[in-house]
Structure 1
């Protein structure tokens, strides 16, 4: 089962409440957060491609969140999956994309599970077999 790991310290400023706060302050600040979030996730997926870790689409994804604390609600963390999918879409290496399109043809679903790990907060994304076709 293929796995890709992201560092939560880069995703923490992109949680839903932080993003809404930025949009309310200044629409350009919200756009900057999206750019920064997509750039970070793109770099993670590019590195995974270099390392030979690719997902086979269509697939179902499992998100295992290892949180540093309980301060941020799970729905705020899961909002960052928008930036994660955008990073997958923009990660291209030698003319090959990590993910061609994030529609229901390729994404068969996703599950989120949450754990506490103060020493090593991270997000692990696993490729699971797609159980059905839409």
Structure 2
């Protein structure tokens, strides 16, 4: 399952600056960002590329396509918080604790023409024991 967010999300530095400038500005930034992410989730849900997770723990892979290399990777990856909170709020995942999410993989690349974030959710494979070939 997957969904794509066009553009880029606020970095850790942007969030810290918002928090420092006004005590409500950081909360507004988070709320507005999550509202925008949920619109992309809703679109993907209507297209059938994402649905409610039924099997846990999941693995999340995120591919960050930045327009240039100006932002540090750790600042970019901070937005995982916004993505996971949006997935919980929309009802795609039950919770974003370690009980529900096993791994989060981040890969960052440059795409000057189409900056975006691709979010992939991989549920665990069940019943694979039946598919194994006997080595006897």
TM-score, L = length of structure 1: 0.83
Partners of 2:42 and 2:57 lie apart in 1 by: 19
Partners of 1:15 and 1:130 lie apart in 2 by: 30
Unaligned runs of 5+ in 2: 126-136
- CA radius of gyration, larger in: 2
2:86 maps to: 87
Q: Identify the match of residue 20 of structure 1 among 6, 16, 31.
A: 16
The correspondence of residues 1-134 of structure 1 with structure 2, limited to 5 A, is 2-9=1-8, 11=9, 14-52=10-48, 53-54=50-51, 56=53, 57-91=56-90, 97-130=91-124
- 1:48-67 per-residue CA deviation (whole Å, 9 max, x = no partner) reads 22222226342101111111
- 1:68-95 per-residue CA deviation (whole Å, 9 max, x = no partner) reads 001111111111111111111111xxxx
Q: Does the 8 A contact of 1:60 with 1:127 survive in 2?
A: yes
TM-score, L = length of structure 2: 0.82
RMSD: 1.6
Unaligned runs of 5+ in 1: 92-96
How many correspondences in the alignment?
122
Partners of 1:29 and 1:116 lie apart in 2 by: 29
Partner secondary structure for residue 64 of structure 1: strand
1:128 Cα shift? 2.8
Q: Does the 8 A contact of 1:61 with 1:125 survive in 2?
A: yes
